[in-house]
Amino acid sequence: MPDAVRQRPAAIEAVPVRHVGRWVAAVVVLAIAAEIVYTLATAPNLKWSVVSHYLTHRLILQGIVTTLELTVLSMLIGIVLGVVLAVMRLSPNPVVSWVSWIYIWFFRGTPVLVQIFLWFNLALVLPFIGVGIPFTSIHWQANTNTLIAPFMAATLGLGFNEAAYMAEIVRAGIISVEHGQTEAAQALGMTRLLLMRRIVLPQAMRVIIPPTGNETISMLKTTSLAFVAAVPELFTRSQQIASATFEIIELAFVASIWYLAMTSILTVGQYYLERYFARGAQRGLPPTPIQRFRRMLVTFHAPPPVPEELPVRLERPH
């Protein structure tokens, strides 16, 4: 082709447009932000020395541990029960499907604060809890107040509530997997449970993980509601100290700083989890923030969104 041999013309060099509006907007935003920071930093009634003193106070640190325990346990209950409820919801058995629907309806339809409160006060209705096999002497029972201590009440309240939301998230994930996958697995002789576990759920993960990360971050903060059950988690601890020292705002700041730090860590964790479950779905894994940062240092600008690998070469028929 004669066109192909023509010389490439010189690259275009032109005077860039001046984005005056962008500069003005940036200055205004920065000014407002600086003003807010300055006001907070110099507020006469906000004692930053108190904030930094209590930031690593023993009671606060203990509270953090309790908060993390609550978060992990409630999310575990939520995820496991959520998967079960989602699979039940999609079951061909109408009774099983309906039970799941009613569970979700109830636990999603009542406030989690009220649910924790109910678990905490369960002893008022059922002083004893027991299990046994009818018409036999096999029976076991315990005092409700010892069985469901404050920590347990909060865990159950948060976990059972979370399960309802997780069920919907998992269900959406399962539905998002192409039906052909189920058919291919069935054609290979896989049973419903096996193909759910090996084929559908792993693919649903890509859809399930991001909202689950959000739920975990949200749960970390929601654990502060365990306050009503007098569970000594981060917020309860900070309020206990505040009620003794009357440094209410300072201790609310202490709690906020810790919540913010923990949610930040979770956000990073979520990123890597999403990256892991993206395997097979994308041609190359997206770069990690560290990889991106390194490349930025080398090139002095953000990397362009090019795929890591060259597109797959189509093969020729032989």
Partner 1 sequence: MVKAEAVHKSFGRLEVLRGIDLEVAPKEVMCIIGPSGSGKSTFLRCINHLEKIDAGRLSVDGELVGYKQRGDKLYELPDAEVCKKRSEIGMVFQRFNLFPHMTALDNVIEAPMRVKRENRAVASERARTLLERVGLGDKVNVYPNHLSGGQQQRVAIARALAMQPKLMLFDEPTSALDPELVGDVLDVMRGLADDGMTMVVVTHEMGFAREVGDSLVFMDGGVIVEAGKPRDVLANPQQERTRSFLSKVL
- Binding to partner 1 (CB under 8 A) within 186-225 occurs at 186-192, 194, 198-199, 202-203
To the nearest 10°, report the CA torsion of 273, 278, 280, 281.
170
Binding track, positions 104-143, relative to partner 1; x by CB under 8 A: ----------------------------------------
Binding track, positions 147-186, relative to partner 1; x by CB under 8 A: -------------------------------x-xx-xxxx
- R_g (Cα) of the chain, nearest Å: 28
Closer residue to partner 1 (CB): 13 or 315: 315
Taking the complex as a whole, how short is the minimal distance between the CB of residue 186 and partner 1, in angstroms?
Answer: 6
Find residue 143's DSSP bridge partners.
128
Among 125, 281, 297, 298, binds partner 1 (CB under 8 A): 281
Q: At what angle do helices 112-120 and 150-176 cross, to 10 degrees?
A: 140
The yes or no reply on residue 316 touching partner 1 (CB under 8 A) is yes
Taking the complex as a whole, how short is the minimal distance between the CB of residue 282 and partner 1, in angstroms?
Answer: 7
| 225 DSSP 8-state letter | G
The yes or no reply on residue 273 touching partner 1 (CB under 8 A) is no
Taking the complex as a whole, how short is the minimal distance between the CB of residue 183 and partner 1, in angstroms?
Answer: 6
- Angle among Cα 240, 241, 245 to the nearest 5 degrees reads 125
Number of residues that bind partner 1 (CB under 8 A): 29
The yes or no reply on residue 57 touching partner 1 (CB under 8 A) is no
The set of residues, in sequence order, having a beta carbon less than 8 Å from that of 73 and lying 6+ positions away, is: 155, 159
Q: At what angle do helices 234-245 and 58-89 cross, to 10 degrees?
A: 150
The yes or no reply on residue 276 touching partner 1 (CB under 8 A) is no
Closer residue to partner 1 (CB): 28 or 188: 188
Taking the complex as a whole, how short is the minimal distance between the CB of residue 180 and partner 1, in angstroms?
Answer: 4
Among 282, 288, 291, 299, binds partner 1 (CB under 8 A): 282
Taking the complex as a whole, how short is the minimal distance between the CB of residue 191 and partner 1, in angstroms?
Answer: 5
Long-range contacts of 67-73 (CB under 8 A, 24+ apart): 67/220, 67/223, 67/224, 67/233, 67/234, 67/235, 67/262, 68/262, 69/151, 70/151, 70/154, 70/155, 70/158, 70/223, 70/226, 70/231, 70/233, 71/216, 71/219, 71/220, 71/223, 73/155, 73/159
Contact window for partner 1 (CB under 8 A) among 14-22, 39-47, 108-116, 277-285: 277-285
161: nearest Cα among 211, 214, 119, 205: 119
- Binding to partner 1 (CB under 8 A) within 283-302 occurs at 283
Closer residue to partner 1 (CB): 91 or 256: 91
The yes or no reply on residue 275 touching partner 1 (CB under 8 A) is no
Closer residue to partner 1 (CB): 22 or 318: 318
Beta strands in 117-180 (DSSP E): 128-132, 139-143
To the nearest 10°, report the CA torsion of 150, 154, 157, 163.
-140
Give the number of other Cβ atoms within 10 Å of residue 112's Cβ.
20
Taking the complex as a whole, how short is the minimal distance between the CB of residue 75 and partner 1, in angstroms?
Answer: 24
CA 9/CA 264 separation, integer angstroms: 49
Residue ranges in contact with partner 1 by CB under 8 A: 178, 180-181, 183-192, 194, 198-199, 202-203, 279-283, 312, 314-318
